[in-house]
Chain A
């Protein structure tokens, strides 16, 4: 039996992946045994996907991976274990074909794997369909499935051949919380019943507790590993209640917490997994700048109600993207628009901005009723917008981009240059001014995009998923900036996000579900309404369960 156990063991030793002159992940070693769920947690670009691809045998790597008594060092050598592995790449519905039905997908993937369609297979298929809750939808085409259903279908397609090693790259990102729970349920079952080793990456810290072991990724390295509880314990001595008295390079404050390598006066506080990234940054002696925002140059009167809409609806063909949404954005307020992918967040923001037409409903922006595009002309100089994926010109440097946008706002060159220099200093991207937009780390890109949206000193900011894929530290810094903008500039901010944990930074949150508004309240009130909720994630889940 002991031998068999050894045979089953999965080893990764000293694996690195390099692309040209860039190291994607360096020197990772870990092992796993049958039935274990190993989680990869970290930001975009931290190296999770590269390591998964190396293990799946789809990219070249250095080091050794061994499994089932066979070791491999290259994609070619990995061929022999591919019959035992299942791989699901990142991106919702990426492996699916729009016009094939659920059942056709299962048959297609079975044929690809050359599976015999005997009674045992049919029974297993039925079990998978049941487990994923797709039994009733076997005849539905993939393009008509929700994001959560697509991910469940992709997952069971990867499970058809009963892999012994399952590699899942961010299967839950952007998926609604209920589907996420269901996905985890399937994974736990598979690990238990089939003894499969499951490697799964995620952008959500909260999912760490569902994993047997967690590897934390940061800047192409694994910075910590262990169970979620072990990891939290490891930073326990460094986490305190917020302390403003004492500050040096060994400490930093974020939100209601202080992190410090040297002992502080204030009381110790229960740490979170996010804290690991802060403590790691302190240990690496990285300079985490506090951002300073100066007063605006031009003072303009901001109306009490910045945006108000009633019964706003949008339909694309037969798909209802937004249904009768009422919303109000007040002066000096950060309003969080939360929801899963496909809940209608981006569509709603684009309607507010006039990038999409409003099918039905009324909209008032900065006190002006919007009837057509003409009404927006004079408002353009008062609105700032950061789009999903930080839209910037890739073939121009940061400085050239900013100067170009400034010139579009008719800011004269001298004023623009001084403002750019100021923002670059305040938001900490001075050293990147000469770099091209596509060479920047995502976190820097994010700050520079917001600088571009602030150049003309707008009265209101619309931000579409500005924190998606950005690492914990950069996200924390970003929220700090938003908080200061609100405080010092007094502007209103409407921001969308699929990270439920970010609700705590908003004055008020609106939850969207399938294009409809299901909640609109302050975070405190929502916690009062659901006293048993541990986190905002739980509250969101309640809303998903509530109305089917």
Chain B
């Protein structure tokens, strides 16, 4: 029985290695894609285009503007009227517009209620609002207001507030989900399409074993990718700190990929061809990712969705992985995550076995 099981695993790995396209996709995803995600996605302001209309005659306004410099801002551009500035914002040439009214300087010097008008392109939401905070603190420091209170910030878990490694890790976790679901689903659907699945069902080997062997082969492929990605990109390029145990992460990843392969199995059970795999995978995975807290923390969701999020294995995986990387949670204390992932996986396999893994 054991040798049969490994014969299937080995055959699937061989098939995978023979498919140049699949190998290329997996290699690309685990290296370049994660690197790009880490390097490219930035929510801090960079090269923000500022435009202004100055009717105040200069002085204070020039002093304020002189604080907007690179790398956060490109040199502010002057416009002659508010209309021109609005047009430029409309055309996406300018993200933040400042309008200094003609009584701006006068009111300011008289220490009256002075108003600086800010026009903000709120479609680039996070960049726009972070820019706004910059502006506020520039104005505050410009004022040099003394209040008897100071914020002393202690950054925990990610001391350098390093956004890159965080983004790269999040990308890796989502990517693992995508790949293991799609790879597994394709393995089964291709067999269904070619008719080899019927042949396998009629072989004197328990179909459950065949299914487990085939999913294991895809788990091995993805685990290989994970290790590659950790070595070259996560640790190699981004120097992501690892406060917990490396092996806890590998163990959790293994459990997680195995249960996510169950999603792939489920997709394969309901899909007729590879085309439908793509369609169903997206329909099933988008809500799983939304509900997992990968994009917004679970506690900010509507209570109904918070309940639903218990059914997303990705939720346990993300919480577990972040605990390992940033909080350094010990191996045994991670048991809720192990169990969460395992229980959901178990249910998915039972459905998969029932759907495609039996004779009548």
Contact = CB atoms under 8 A, between A and B. Distances in A.
Contact of A391 (B15, B18, B196, B204): B196
Nearest to B18: A395
Contacts of A408: 4, 7, 200, 203-205
Interface in B159-180: none
A395 B11 CA distance: 10
Most buried by B among A355, A358, A381, A388: A355
A387 B199 contact: yes
Nearest to A407: B7
A128 interface: no
B204 A410 contact: yes
Interface stretch (A132-140, A200-208, A369-377): A369-377
Contact of A381 (B3, B4, B204, B360): B204
A380 B7 contact: no
A312 interface: no
Interface in B184-211: 194-196, 198-205
A395 B204 contact: no
B69 interface: no
B359 interface: yes
Q: How large is the interface on A (under 10, 10 to 19, 20 to 34, 35 or more residues)?
A: 20 to 34
Most buried by B among A380, A396, A408: A408
Contacts of A124: none
B15 A395 contact: yes
Contacts of A392: 194, 196
Contacts of A372: 360
A141 B358 CA distance: 35
Contacts of B14: 396
A353 interface: yes
B19 A395 contact: yes
Nearest to B7: A407
Most buried by A among B7, B15, B359: B359
B207 to A, nearest CB: 9
B204 A353 contact: no
Nearest to A409: B204
Nearest to B357: A373
A261 to B, nearest CB: 41
Contacts of B11: 393, 396, 404
Given A387-B195, A407-B7, A376 B15 contact: no
Nearest to A370: B360
B15 A357 contact: no
B198 A376 contact: no
A405 B8 CA distance: 10
A357 B202 contact: no
A111 B200 CA distance: 48
Contact of A385 (B202, B205, B360): B202
B360 A373 contact: yes
A394 B19 CA distance: 11
A19 interface: no
Nearest to A389: B195
A388 B194 contact: no
B189 to A, nearest CB: 14
A385 B204 CA distance: 13
Contacts of B195: 387-389, 391
A108 interface: no
A356 interface: yes
Interface in B1-33: 3-4, 7, 11, 14-15, 18-19
Contacts of B360: 351, 354-358, 372-373
A376 B199 CA distance: 14
A410 B199 contact: no
Q: How large is the interface on B (under 10, 10 to 19, 20 to 34, 35 or more residues)?
A: 20 to 34
Contact of A394 (B194, B201, B204): B194
B196 A353 contact: no
Interface string A389-418: 101111110000000110111100000000
A426 to B, nearest CB: 21
A313 to B, nearest CB: 14
B196 A380 contact: no
A383 interface: yes
- A interface, by DSSP: helix, strand, loop or mixed? loop
Contacts of B199: 385, 387, 391, 405, 452
A376 B203 CA distance: 11
A376 B360 CA distance: 9
Nearest to B206: A377
Given A353-B202, A391-B199, A396-B15, A376 B194 contact: no
A396 B12 CA distance: 11
A356 to B, nearest CB: 6
Contacts of B15: 393, 395-396
Contacts of B18: 395
A450 to B, nearest CB: 13
B7 A391 contact: no
Contacts of B7: 404, 407-408
Interface string A304-318: 000000000000000
A247 B11 CA distance: 46
B202 A373 contact: no
Interface string B16-53: 00110000000000000000000000000000000000
Contacts of B194: 389, 391-394
Most buried by A among B4, B7, B11, B19: B11
A309 B38 CA distance: 64
Interface string A439-455: 00000000000001000
Nearest to B358: A373
B198 to A, nearest CB: 5
A396 B191 CA distance: 13
Nearest to A375: B359
Contacts of B3: 407
Given A373-B359, A393-B15, A407-B4, A355 B201 contact: yes
A373 B203 CA distance: 13
B198 A380 contact: no
Interface in B315-360: 358-360
Contacts of B203: 380, 405, 408-409
A456 B199 CA distance: 13
Contacts of A355: 198, 201-202, 359-360
Nearest to B200: A408
Contact of B202 (A383, A389, A393): A383
A346 to B, nearest CB: 11
A364 to B, nearest CB: 15
Contact of B359 (A354, A389, A396, A456): A354
8 contacts: A353-B202, A355-B198, A355-B202, A381-B204, A385-B199, A389-B194, A395-B19, A404-B11
Interface of A: 350-351, 353-358, 372-373, 376-377, 380-381, 383, 385, 387-389, 391-396, 404-405, 407-410, 452, 456
Given A392-B196, A408-B205, A409-B203, 9 more contacts: A350-B198, A380-B202, A383-B202, A385-B198, A385-B199, A389-B194, A396-B14, A408-B204, A410-B4
- The 7 A-B pairs with the shortest beta carbon distances in the complex, nearest first, are A391-B195, A354-B359, A357-B360, A373-B359, A408-B203, A380-B204, A387-B195
Interface of B: 3-4, 7, 11, 14-15, 18-19, 194-196, 198-205, 358-360
